[in-house]
Amino acid sequence: MFITFEGIDGCGKTTQLNLLHKYLKDIGYNVLTTREPGSTPLAEKLRNVLLNMEYNISSVSEILMFEAARAELVDSVIHPAICRKQIVLSDRFYDSTIAYQGFGRQQNIDDIKLLNKITIREIIPNFTFLLDIPYSVSLERRFGSIDDRIESTGNAFYERVIAGYRSIAEEEPDRVKMIDATQSKEDIFHQIIQIVKPALPPI
């Protein structure tokens, strides 16, 4: 089983992923967590470049680096873990590239979908939890932290990313479950569990 968490910065992905990880481990599942970009030595290096304010990266290079990081992660971590019947939870996956680079940076979405298809090797999440918050809440939750290269892009960009995520959820309602993430951590987690529990494989 493969579950991904999506949404704009500060939406609470990492919080919910950690809660689900603990819940599944406590009831006896073998769980692996990953993050994008990252979770392999090369992908972590690409992450450092992608988020670093020092670099002025073209939109096309940015897409290709996110896709390269994803290819590494799928081939060396996610695919083997799924073959071992582990439950894999990922903080972001290919929807991030559609939302951020496709909608946010206004790059060609069909081209991104093709690149995604090449990198994911037919690994589609069983569920994707889209934690939906307005940009103002993202700013409040990130108050005091230093913006990285992507976070510094600004308001209009983030409004497009949010709209992009919502349209992905509309397109694929069976996979992408949109949750109002302005609710409490506990209420959000309760909704996630209601969806995941009936679909869990036997231990």
CB of 202 to ligand Z5A, least distance (A): 30
Q: Is 92 in the site for ligand Z5A (CB under 6 A)?
A: yes
6-65 binders of ligand Z5A (CB under 6 A): 7, 9-15, 35-37
Give me the phi and psi of 148, to 5 degrees please: -90, -175
Query: In terms of CB distance, is 87 or 158 closer to ligand Z5A?
Result: 158
Instruction: Tell me the Ramachandran region of residue 148: left when phi exceeds 0, alpha when psi lies from -120 to 50, beta otherwise.
Output: beta
Q: Is 179 in the site for ligand Z5A (CB under 6 A)?
A: no
Query: In terms of CB distance, is 157 or 196 closer to ligand Z5A?
Result: 157
Q: Is 151 in the site for ligand Z5A (CB under 6 A)?
A: yes
CB of 18 to ligand Z5A, least distance (A): 8
95-114 binders of ligand Z5A (CB under 6 A): 96-97, 100-101
Query: In terms of CB distance, is 181 or 192 closer to ligand Z5A?
Result: 181
Please pick, from the candidates 178, 188, 192, 196, the single residue that binds ligand Z5A as defined by CB under 6 A: 188
CB of 144 to ligand Z5A, least distance (A): 10
Query: Rule CB under 6 A: which residues touch ligand Z5A?
Result: 7, 9-15, 35-37, 66, 91-92, 96-97, 100-101, 141, 148, 150-151, 181, 184-185, 188
